[in-house]
């Protein structure tokens, strides 16, 4: 519906206008270039991306914005609205990691853009601002990386193929942030489509839009406000367990294994590795099924798939927290009050749940979820509704440059 789409765009314009003002105050000149990249929520298909499998994420109406101007030298000056300290380094294809820590999400994308021949004519100043909550499993880091690459593209006046852009941002996350992530987050932030989720085949990189613009349906994101930390080692450990299971099963990746194959090999796998593989194999099936039921407009059929996905992440992949389990139980208890399905979303160990619900009940559902969660945990949660948003793109700042 046009009203709420306008609201999302109006919010971006307000964020941009305020950022341009802050840029002018800080750098003593008006910005000339700008870029945006959204966070994401994954509807289903968790930890399947690095197993060459399927995921079904959508970009959300929370985003990182960056505004910039050229400098007279070859230096890059980065400033965030969230932190005092500035990052300063020379523009090159070999930028080292450094202080402040948040700048490491930006050093990689700049280096790899230059490596690909996406080279701005000089150094530049950047001010960034993000409305993607950090540590919430909503890909705040991918939105930083993809916004940075998109800003470099517009400064260089030269574009990367969006798949290449996602891949260099994934590499940046591996090398500069130390998380061996899959391709999902950078992919959807770069290629999200307004009004659709994307079914991504993480082996072929083929994407299929799955329409999700029925005005009677909403996506509610509830943040448990217990932060997750993917560099904690658990993520890498899950990845190793999956790779070890694939080796034992004699397949290239768990994407290639069937449930029967897994059951036949049960004796050869230790119980933990077996359960990790069980999650991936069943989650791939659920993800394909989800894309198919959504394509048929059969929203009700998403419910059991989302709840089963959560159970699988809780019992077999073991990446949920008591807080996330509680949020999903509370949502399940509201099946009669308009909830269709709910599950943890993202890397896990904290962060958010995603809930599919009937739009007319969205407000009472959010209120009740938050009240009961607060009563039972003593933690203040936060919740918001989002529609599938567009992926990264440059923005124009001409209207702000006259000051
Ligand atoms: C994190 C990773 F960055 C993604 O690649 C993906 O594996 C996800 O966790 C789990 O589905 O967001």
94-139 residue pLDDT tens: 999 999 999 999 999 999 999 999 999 999 999 999 999 988 899 9
pLDDT of 87 > 50? The answer is yes
pLDDT higher than threshold 70 for residue 291: yes
Ligand 1 midpoint to CA 346 (Å): 6
* 400 pLDDT more than 80: no
Q: What number is the average pLDDT over the span 217-228?
A: 92
Distance of CA 367 to the CA centre of its chain: 25
Confidence of residue 7 (pLDDT cuts 50, 70, 90): confident
Give the atom of ligand 1 at the shortest distance from the alpha carbon of 49.
Answer: 7
Assess whether the C-beta atom of 46 lies below 6 angstroms from ligand 1: yes
Torsions phi, psi of 363, nearest 5? -65, -55
Distance 137 CA to ligand 1 centre (A): 8
User: Is residue 60 within 8 Å of residue 41, measured between CB atoms?
Assistant: yes
Annotated binding site for ATP: 80
pLDDT, residue 389, reads 98
Q: Residue 79's pLDDT band (boundaries 50, 70, 90)? A: very high
How many angstroms separate the CA atoms of 276 and 267, rounded?
Answer: 15
Instruction: Verify whether ligand 1 is closer than 6 Å to residue 185 (CB atom).
Output: yes
Contacts of 264 (CB under 8 A, 6+ apart): none
Mean pLDDT throughout 317-324? 96
CA of 200 to the centre of ligand 1 (A): 13
Closest residue CA from atom 7 of ligand 1 = 47
Q: For residue 347, which atom of ligand 1 is closest to its CA?
A: 9
pTM of this structure:
0.96
Exposed, middle or buried by CB within 10 Å (0-12, 13-18, 19+), for 361?
middle
Name which residue sits closest to atom 1 of ligand 1, judged by CA.
347
- State yes or no: pLDDT of 200 exceeds 80: yes
* Greater pLDDT, 2 or 353: 353
Percentage of the chain modeled with pLDDT above 90: 94
Q: Which atom of ligand 1 is nearest to the CA of 142?
A: 3
Mean pLDDT of the chain: 96
Q: Tell me phi and psi for residue 200, to 5 degrees.
A: -115, 125
Give the model's pLDDT for residue 398.
Answer: 77
How does residue 35 score in pLDDT terms, banded at 50, 70 and 90?
A: very high
Q: Is the pLDDT of residue 146 over 80?
A: yes
**Count of residues making up the chain:** 403
Q: Which two structure tokens, joined as six digits, stand for 198?
A: 């994307």
At 402, is the pLDDT very low, low, confident or very high (cuts 50, 70, 90)?
A: very low
What pLDDT shows up at residue 228? 64
Per-residue pLDDT band for 349 (boundaries 50, 70, 90) equals very high
Which residues face 131 on adjacent strands? none
pLDDT, residue 295, reads 97
Mean pLDDT of 315-341: 97
**pLDDT for 2:** 54
- pLDDT of 403 reads 46
Q: How confident is the model at residue 227 (pLDDT cuts 50, 70, 90)?
A: confident
Residue 135: the pLDDT is: 83
């Amino acid at each position: 519906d046009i009203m709420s789409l306008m609201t999302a765009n109006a919010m971006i314009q307000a964020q941009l206008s305020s950022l341009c003002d802050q840029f002018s105050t800080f750098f003593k000149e008006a910005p000339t270039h700008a870029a945006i990249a959204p966070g994401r929520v994954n509807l289903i298909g968790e930890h399947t991306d690095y197993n060459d499998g399927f995921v079904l994420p959508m970009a959300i109406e929370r985003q990182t914005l960056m505004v910039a101007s050229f400098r007279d030298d070859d230096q890059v000056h980065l400033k965030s609205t969230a932190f005092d300290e500035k990052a300063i380094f020379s523009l090159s294809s070999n930028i080292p990691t450094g202080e402040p820590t948040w700048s490491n999400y930006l050093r990689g994308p700049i280096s790899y853009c230059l490596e690909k021949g996406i080279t701005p004519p000089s150094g530049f100043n950047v001010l960034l601002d993000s409305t993607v909550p950090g540590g919430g499993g909503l890909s705040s880091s991918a939105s930083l990386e993809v916004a940075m690459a998109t800003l470099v593209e517009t400064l260089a006046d030269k574009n990367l193929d969006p798949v290449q852009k996602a891949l260099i941002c994934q590499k940046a996350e591996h090398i500069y942030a130390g998380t061996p992530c899959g391709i999902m987050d950078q992919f959807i932030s770069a290629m999200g489509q307004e009004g659709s989720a994307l079914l991504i085949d993480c082996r072929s990189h083929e994407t299929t839009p799955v329409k999700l613009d029925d005005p009677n349906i909403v996506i509610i994101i509830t943040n448990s406000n217990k932060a997750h930390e993917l560099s904690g080692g658990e993520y890498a450990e899950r990845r190793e367990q999956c790779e070890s299971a694939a080796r034992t099963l004699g397949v290239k990746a768990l994407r290639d294994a069937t449930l029967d194959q897994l059951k036949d090999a049960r004796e050869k796998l230790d119980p933990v590795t077996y359960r990790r593989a069980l999650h991936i194999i069943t989650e791939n099936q659920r993800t394909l099924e989800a894309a198919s039921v959504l394509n048929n407009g059969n929203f009700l059929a998403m419910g059991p798939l989302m709840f089963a996905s959560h159970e699988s992440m809780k019992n077999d992949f073991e990446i949920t927290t008591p807080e996330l389990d509680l949020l999903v139980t509370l949502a399940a208890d509201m099946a009669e009050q308009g909830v269709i399905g709910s599950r943890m979303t993202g890397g896990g160990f904290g962060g958010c749940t995603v809930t599919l619900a009937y739009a007319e009940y969205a407000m009472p559902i959010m209120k009740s979820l938050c009240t009961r969660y607060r009563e039972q945990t003593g933690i203040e949660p936060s919740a918001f509704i989002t529609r599938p948003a567009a992926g990264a793109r440059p923005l124009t700042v001409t209207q702000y440059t006259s000051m």
